Amino acid sequence: MECSFAITGKGYVIVAADTTAAHSIIKVKLDEDKIKTLSPHLLMAYSGEPGDTVQFAEYIERNIRLYQIRNTYPLRPSSAASWIRRALADSLRSRKPYSVNLLLGGYDTSTYTPHLYWIDYLGTLTEVPFGAHGYGSYFALSLLDRYHDPEASLEEGLATLKRCIDEVSKRLLVAPGRYKVKVVDKDGVREVEI
């Protein structure tokens, strides 16, 4: 089943999401990228109802891009998070709401700080030091309560993330096999192997 995790550290946010695309009980794809790069310093991991997820993520991606083209600079992470939350909150009270859960990781280039936002399909938004969606969250959050360090280096952060993934693989009956991991820091967005 779908799992996504994200953790902040010293000057960075790591976002990880599984890469399986499923149709009921069947895996149909094993290398799906479920983390979109919204702007040079903004990452969004999305999960939820298949179809809704991609539609919604592309809608967000293009509107964030439009803002950047119109105003020459991109939205800051906190403003992007608020705007995305509003899109989901408005959708919730529409005829057919999007069922999409998000983890939004960004680096604010005007204050030089990393930010991570936990957003669910209801339009709940909260800034967190670490967050997770899916069944994996039941394992990862308690693990991160114990091991997360906001001042950790990138290597330490990736090691903590590895712990979460390993724990989920060990204990969760329907654990995903592979994950894609991306990092955002002052230099922008990049993918890392773990």
Window 115 to 144, contacts with other proteins (CB under 8 A): 118, 120, 122-128, 131, 137-138, 141
Q: Assess contact for 156 and 172: CB atoms under 8 A.
A: no
- CA distances (Å), origin 88, targets 2, 23, 84, 101: 20, 24, 7, 9
- The pair phi, psi for residue 162, each rounded to 5°, is -60, -40
Residue from 71, 95, 96, 193 in contact with other proteins (CB under 8 A) = 71
Nearest-approach distance from CB 125 to other proteins, in angstroms: 6
Q: Which stretch binds other proteins (CB under 8 A): 8-16, 27-35, 51-59, 81-89?
A: 81-89
- CA distances (Å), origin 60, targets 77, 119, 136, 158: 13, 14, 25, 28
Q: Which stretch binds other proteins (CB under 8 A): 19-27, 34-42, 70-78, 174-182?
A: 70-78
Q: Does residue 172 bind other proteins (CB under 8 A)? A: no
Residue from 92, 154, 156, 163 in contact with other proteins (CB under 8 A) = 92
Q: Assess contact for 13 and 123: CB atoms under 8 A.
A: no
Q: Nearer to other proteins by C-beta: 22 or 92?
A: 92
Q: Does residue 110 bind other proteins (CB under 8 A)? A: yes
Q: Does residue 41 bind other proteins (CB under 8 A)? A: no
| Residue for token pair 């604010």 | 108
- Between CA 132 and CA 4, with CA 178 as vertex, the angle to 5 degrees is 10
Residues found near other proteins in the complex (CB under 8 A): 71, 73, 75-76, 78-79, 82-83, 85-86, 88-89, 92-93, 110-111, 118, 120, 122-128, 131, 137-138, 141
